[in-house]
Structure 1
Amino acid sequence: MDLYQKNKNPTDYSAGGRDGHGKATTCPDDRLDSGLDSLKDDELSSLTSETEGLRISCREEPGDGLGEPWQLQRTEDGDTLLHLAIIQEEKEYAFQMINLSRHSAFLNIQNYERQTPLHLAVITEQPEVAECLLKAGCDPQLVDDHGETALHIACKRGSLRCFSVLTQGSPHMLPSILLRANYRGHNCLHLTCIHGYLSLCESLVKLGADINAQEQCSGRSPLHLAVDLQNPQLVRLLISLGANVNSLTYSGHSPFHLTYGRHDTGIREQLYGLTDRSLRELPESESEDSDEDPGSEDEMYDDIMLVGQQ
C-alpha cells in the first residue's frame, strides 16, 4: 500500500532562480509533500501503527541493524519508514529510527529517486533531523537522480540552517562535495549564484569553494553567471572576494563581453576598468574572420559521392 502521496513540480527552474518579485524559486523536481493532510485516514493510521511499534519490535541481540522488519519495509516508491517519517515531519519517530539503527547502511538507503533521508531532511527544512543523521554516520556525499548532494539542495533553496549543519557536520568530506558538479554541470557555488544567495556565496568561498570554477556546460565562472543574471550586488561581491575578471568561457568570452546588449550599465562600468584591454572587444565571428568566397563552401565538397554518383 502506498503510504504517502507525492506532489511533483515538473517546472524547470535551472536558469534565473528568481520570480518577477525577486523571490527565490524552489528546487526542480523536489518532493515537497510534507503535510499530514495529504494522507488519507487509513494511510496515516498505518504509518502511525508502524512507527509506534518500532521500540517494541526491535530485537535486543547485536546485528548489522538491517534485519529488523521495520527496516526492510519499502513503499512502491522505494521509501523506508524513515523516509516517510521525514516527509511527514514526524521528527520524534525519525529520531527514534535513527537512534535504533545500528548500521549507517540503513540511513543511506536511497528511494527510487535516489533520495536519502538526508536529502529529504533538507527538502523539508528539518536541520535537526539532518544533524542527527550526520552524527549517526550517514553519507553526505550521496547524490540523487539530479546528481545533487544534500548540500546542493540547501544551496538551491537558500536554506541557511541546513547549509550550516551540512558544512559543519562533515568537514572532512566538504572539499570533495564543493568540487562535485550536478548533472547540469553546476557545483554548489554556481547554484548559489544562479539563485542569488549572496551570503551563501560568500560562505562557500570562505569554506574553500573555487571562486573561478567553470560550470561544465559552457565554461562560465560564477562571475559570468552573475553578469548573465544581471545581478550587480553579486558581481560586486565576487570581485571583492577575488574573482578573476579575465576568465574566459569555452567560447572565449570574458565577463565583460556578457555586458554587451544588457540593460545594467552599472555592471559594465564595474568590469570595464578591471578587464584586460584585449578582452573588452567581442571576439570576431568565424564568418568575419573568413576571407573565403561565399561559393567556396560548395567547392570544398564538390567531390562528395552520393549513391555512387559524384
Structure 2
Amino acid sequence: MDVHRAAIMNYMDCNVDEMDTKNRKVQHCEDRVDSGVDSLKEDEYMKIVEEMESLTLPNPSANPKGMCEPWTQEVTEDGDTYLHLAIIHEAEDYAIQIIKQCQNDPFLNRQNNQRQTALHLAVITEQPHMVDRLLKAGCDPRLVDQSGNTALHIACKRGSLACFSVLTQIQTQHLRSILTFPNYSGHTCLHIAAIHNYLSMVESLVQLGADVNAKEQCSGRTSLHLAVDLQNLELVHLLIALGADVNSLTYGGYTPYHLTFGRQNSEIQRQLFNRTAQELRAMPESESEESDEESSSDDECMYDDIQFCGR
C-alpha cells in the first residue's frame, strides 16, 4: 500500500496541468460555498472570525534548509540535480556535502526525466556507501523510475549484493510493501532475482518476507514457473526447498510441471512430476480447442434441418 501510494504521487507529479484544471474547479466550488456566509447569524459569524484569528500560520523562514538554497532548483536538460550529477560522476565529497545540507528534505527525492532518484543512481553506479547515506538522510526507497522499479528492484536486476544488503537493512518499515510491489512488467524483486539467477538473493528475499508463490502479472507465473522456463534445475531445487507450491496455476491453468513438456531437462520434469498432484498432471484443454468444438456442435445443430433434393 505504501509503495502504491508513492507511485501514485509520482504519477501526479507528471500531471501539473490536470491538477491546475482540478484546482480551478475546486476554487469555483469554494466560491459558491463562500457565497452562503451572509445567511449566518451574527453570533455564529463572530465565532468563526474568532477561530480564524486564533489560527497560527507556519513561519516562512522555517522551510527546510535545502529548499531555501537556489542551487536546489538547478537541473540539467535531463532533469538531473546537482545531487544526481555528483552521484553519476562519483564525486563523493560533493554528494556528501549536499546530503548533509538536505537531511529529511524533499530535495533528496527529486526525480530526473527518467523518474530516477539519487537512490536509484547510487545503486546503478554501485555505491552502497552512498545508498546508506541517502537512506539515513531520508531518501524514500519506495519511489519508482519510469519502468516502475524501486532501488531494490534495480539491485536485484544487477545482482548488487552490497546495495541489496543496505536497502534491506535500513528503513525496514517499508521493506514488506516494497517486496510485494511489481514493476510495470509485472515482476516483483523475487521474480527479477530468479530470472537473473541470483540464488543467494532469491533465498534472502524469501527469508525477508517475499512471497515465494507470488505471480507475475502478465501470465500468472510464479518464480518456480520462471525457473522451469529457464531450465534452471538448481533454482527449481532451491524454490521447492523454500516452500514453492508445485501445484500453482498460471492464468491459463498450467502448473510448473506442464511447462516441462517439450523441454530438454528431463530431471526437472521428473522432480516436478513426483510432486505435482495427480489430477493436475494432465495438460489442460486449450480454450481454442474447446471453442472449436463448441462452434462445430453449434453449426451441426443450426443446419441439421436443411434438406438437399428433398432429403
Q: TM-score range by the shorter chain?
A: 0.7 to 0.9
What amino acid maps onto 2:248 in structure 1? S
Map of 1:186 onto structure 2: 187
Q: Which residue of 2 aligns with 1:78?
A: 79
Higher radius of gyration, 1 or 2: 2
Distance 2:294 2:108 in 1: 66
> Alpha carbons of 1:73 and 1:260: their partners in 2 closer, same or farther (altered >3 Å)?
same
| 1:196 corresponding residue in structure 2 | 197
Change (3 A) 1:70 1:298: farther
Does 2:105 align with 1:101?
Answer: no
How many residues are paired up? 243
Q: Is the 8 A contact 1:131 1:165 kept in 2?
A: yes
- Tell me the CA shift for residue 122 of structure 1: 0.2
**2: CA distance between counterparts of 1:174 and 1:98?**
23
Q: Structure 1, unaligned stretches of length 5 or more?
A: 1-59, 303-310
Q: Name the Cα RMSD after superposition.
A: 2.2
SS at match of 1:172: helix
Q: CA deviation at 1:219?
A: 0.3
Equivalent residues of 2:194, 2:227 under 8 A apart: yes
Distance 1:225 1:82, change over 3 A: same
Contact 2:190-2:210 within 8 A present in 1 as well: yes
Q: Following the alignment from structure 1 to structure 2, what is the Cα–Cα distance between the partners of residues 152 and 185?
A: 12
1:226–1:235: 8 Å Cα contact kept in structure 2?
Answer: yes
Q: Percent identity?
A: 62
| TM-superposition CA deviations, 1:217-249 (whole Å, max 9, x none) | 000011001011110000000000110000000
Aligned partner of 2:277 in structure 1 is: 276
Contact 1:64–1:103 (Cα < 8 Å) also in 2? no
Equivalent residue runs for 1:207-246 within 5 Å: 207-246=208-247
**Which has the larger helix fraction?**
2
Gaps of 5+ in 2: 1-60, 304-311
- Answer whether contact 2:64 2:105 (CA < 8 A) is retained: no
Separation in 1, partners of 2:141, 2:124? 14
Alignment of 1:4-153 (within 5 A): 63-153=64-154
Contact 2:103 2:138 in 1 (8 A): no
Once the 2 structures are TM-superposed, how far is the Cα of residue 103 of structure 1 from its aligned partner?
3.9
Q: Distance in 1 between matches of 2:169 and 2:281?
A: 41
Amino acid at match of 2:230: L
> In structure 2, what is the Cα distance between the partners aligned to 1:167 and 1:161?
10
Shift in CA distance, 232/62, structure 1 to aligned 2, threshold 3 Å: same
Aligned equivalents of 1:111, 1:127: Cα separation in 2: 20
Assess, with a 3 A threshold, how the Cα gap between structure 1 residues 122 and 207 changes in structure 2: closer, same or farther: same
